[in-house]
Amino acid sequence: MNEKDKDLTQRTYSDAEEAADLARYHALKRSVSIQSLSVVAIVALVSVHWFPVPAYALAAGGVCGVLNALATMRSGERLVATQSVGGFVLSSFLRIGVFGIVPVAFAAVGPWWSMGWYFAGFFLPLALYAFRLQRSYERDRRA
């Protein structure tokens, strides 16, 4: 074990750090959901006149992406609290089934490439959360 690994294993995590991280987590969860839905709604409203099915797919993808992100976060919270891996795995399979069928329906109804618009909306909350979390930790390191 090198010196860096040894330092990481001996790190303590105070109650104040835990409270700060939980506050950051809940604030990001809320703000990313609102921001994702806002961006998707604006882009879908602007493009619905020229590309109706892809615009609806984008909006549906954004809503499904936010719901999926919130459900995934809630499952992770339950996993930490209860240590029940079976429930986490079952909810993951259900989310994949539910949110995986929606883009196929848009591709069947409209142009096949509307599925890409769905996935753009679906993964927007995840991308925003990852980007904003990284920036949040970078700000803390600099301070």
Residue 6 has pLDDT above 90, yes or no: no
pLDDT digits (tens, 9 = 90+) for 58-82: 999 999 999 999 999 998 888 888 8
At 61, the amino acid letter reads G
Residue with more model confidence, 19 or 13: 19
Give the tokens for residue 72.
């995934």
Give the tokens for residue 19.
């409270």
Nearest to 40, CA basis, from 29, 19, 54: 54
Nearest to 44, CA basis, from 53, 33, 55: 55
pLDDT digits (tens, 9 = 90+) for 84-133: 888 888 888 888 888 889 999 999 998 999 999 999 999 999 999 999 98
Mean pLDDT score, 22-49: 95
Question: What is the reported pTM?
Answer: 0.82
Residues 118 and 56: their CA atoms lie apart, in Å, by 8
